A and B are shown apart, each in its own frame.
Chain A
Amino acid sequence: MIQLHDVSFGYRRNRLLYDHLNLTLRPGSIYGLLGPNGAGKSTLLRLLSGLLYPKAGSIRVGEWRPGDRKPGFLEDLFLVPEEFYLPPVRIAQFVQSNAQFYPRFDTAQMALYLREFGLTNGQNLNELSYGQKKKVLIGFGLATNTALLLMDEPTNGLDIPSKSQFRRLVAGAVDDRRTVVISTHQVRDLETLIDPIVILTGEPGGRMRIGLNATVEEITDRLWFGMTAELDASRPILHAERAVGGYALVAENQHDELSRLDLERLFNTVQAEPDRIAQLFSTTLTGTNA
């Protein structure tokens, strides 16, 4: 269990990015962390991994406080940052020298990921493209089998076939004890992978808060996503967009209608109607957001 309790953080003393932020993440899920540019998605991942210290409040990852950077915590955490450095060594050497730090590292799993991504152990990391390097890092992160796996924009730089490989591999690497948090802008890439969904939204004054933290089931229970030829006045519409052949709508689901989650429109709805979303999801946000 990961808990952020009343966390305040800002890069400048008098300008907080988060103020009294509360969030609980449970194991066995792939969390999608979405938010507008500058919302602090990467900051949140760095707070969770102990690379940044909260100005106030506390963060607990299981029994650990990330800021202590204890070996026991670090060997059960892996972060795939958006921008990263890999040493100029062969893949096999990279795996060998890093795998020894992670007690649950699975060499066979890593070999499988490399094969899936079309890479071989003998390739030199400094001869690979950005996307190929990212595949090595993602594969390594999955093979560590750490309890917490954080990925910052993992699909950036991946080609189209690799994105579906990525979804398949991540989905297959999650078990009951593992929490995966993926921060992304590329909602279409990960629509079928992430569940629950955490969306950051801005408050007046520039601070960010959790606008939504709910599973896909909870979202489609409360919201209806669909297309209509005309704007339907009988529906309590939260968000409407002009689309080919009519309007793409997000409305309150008052009649328990089935619909398919549209992540991009959900994101826009949360940004446009944060207070109404907070009311609708008050039960899922309880204990999650201040």
Chain B
Amino acid sequence: MNQTFSSSRFGRLLSKYISDNRGQLLTSLALLTGILLVGALLAYRGLPFQADRNRGVLLFFFGWLLWYIFTWQQTEVLNHRERSINYLLQPASQPEKFLLIWLVSGVGFLIVFLGLFSIIDALGVAYVNTINWTPNQLKIIRQVDGLLVIKPFYQSENMWPPAQLLVLTGLLHPFCLAAFLFIKRYSLPIVGVLILVTLAAGYFVNSYMLTWLLDTAEPLSVLPFERAIVESPKGMAVRKLDLPQPLGDIIRYTTGIAGIVLLYIIAFYRLKEREV
């Protein structure tokens, strides 16, 4: 018998997880649907260009927040001695147990969330596209050069988000997993604060470094992995400063993937060495 990985054993582990947590998973699904529906009621109320912008918030902001909470929920069981004993003594290998957490809280959440979002987005878009706009509203739409109809996000041309957003999204899960396995008490608020502090620190360090490297008169404000916006030497205009492509995105993805792998390794060893 392979002591590191066996697909049949992993299948048993997954089926036991689903069987034991069916109620909790269904409740989470209902909550997720409810929250997305409420968000959609707000996001798809406005004009088409507003709905197009708002659904990005729904996708990323709600997505990050819900992913964060779901990952916490899945790792929180390890902070309860009785449940933790069950989990650690299940006859499966450490990689299989880690893979289960990764699959459920990572890939599983993404599939369910994106699936639900796609359905709700399609419904919201259908609603926005069938509204008869008043002349006043049409005037506003034309003023901002907006569209009269929008497409569901999976059909739109700019469906693939920019690299910096993808990298930050990709880092969220491994960061949360590692942090939740490190911090045993009050982990939900503490890790939340930790994320905000990390982002703020990244923002300040990045801004300071770029201002220093470019030696600009005005301090620059740049989030990690983001493009810099600098004043144009020609008057009032601004310019987007980015590395030449595809090199810029290659660096972003490489850095992001290295961070993701490192954080998952930390999370794995935290789980492996957990004592109850």
Contact = CB atoms under 8 A, between A and B. Distances in A.
Contacts of A50: 88-89
Contact of A81 (B1, B15, B22, B82): B82
A69 B9 CA distance: 15
A85 B86 contact: yes
Given A81-B82, A83-B82, A101-B91, A71 B20 contact: no
Contacts of B275: 51-53
A69 B94 contact: yes
B246 interface: no
B254 interface: no
Chain B interface mostly helix, strand, loop or mixed? helix
Interface in A60-85: 69-72, 74-75, 77, 79, 81, 83-85
Contacts of A247: none
A102 B90 CA distance: 10
A83 B90 contact: no
Nearest to B17: A97
Interface in B71-120: 80-83, 85-86, 88-94, 96
A84 B88 contact: no
A72 B86 contact: no
Contact of B82 (A71, A85, A97): A85
Interface size class for chain B?
20 to 34
Interface in B219-276: 272-273, 275-276
Chain A interface residue number, banded: 20 to 34
A102 B88 contact: no
A51 B85 contact: yes
A96 B12 CA distance: 11
B276 A71 contact: no
Contact of A77 (B82, B83, B89, B272): B89
9 contacts: A51-B85, A51-B275, A69-B272, A71-B93, A71-B96, A74-B91, A85-B82, A97-B20, A101-B9
Interface of A: 46, 49-53, 69-72, 74-75, 77, 79, 81, 83-85, 87-89, 93, 96-98, 100-102
Interface of B: 1, 3, 6, 9, 12, 15-16, 19-23, 80-83, 85-86, 88-94, 96, 272-273, 275-276
